[in-house]
Amino acid sequence: MNTQEPIRKTGDFIRNSATFKIFSIGIIVLILLIPASMITSLMRERKSRRHSVVQEINQKWGNSQTITGPFFTIPYKSFYKDEHEELKYNIHYLHILPEKLKYPGT
């Protein structure tokens, strides 16, 4: 019996076996999932960090902005008498707003 024959039979088995090839591909895929998972985790962390930085900047510089149109504010006094019959007044403000307002925006 030749000592090279069992090695040659094993080589032929590996070369021709579909099961061994599928098993090898499966192991390679599992090994490559580790760096893919690490990259996904890094992307998730950076997205979270970006969100927190944007939120922090918004808090420092003001959150949402409200655009209002022109309006008039007219102060006026309302007079009344107190319990000592002295004439006193309160200052109130009348706000007049437009009925329709169009802003051409981009």
List pLDDT tens digits, range 30-85. 999 999 999 999 999 999 999 999 988 888 887 666 777 888 999 999 999 999 99
**Rounded Cα gap, residues 61 and 56, in angstroms:** 9
For residues 76-97, average pLDDT: 93
CA angle 71, 76, 78 (to 5 degrees): 145
Residues 6 or more apart whose Cβ sits within 8 Å of residue 45: none
Q: Are 93 and 75 spatial neighbours (Cβ–Cβ below 8 Å)?
A: yes
Q: Where are the domains of the chain?
A: 4-61
- 87: DSSP letter: E
Q: Which two tokens stand for residue 33?
A: 């999932």
pLDDT at 42: 94
Helix (H) or strand (E) holding 93: strand 87-96
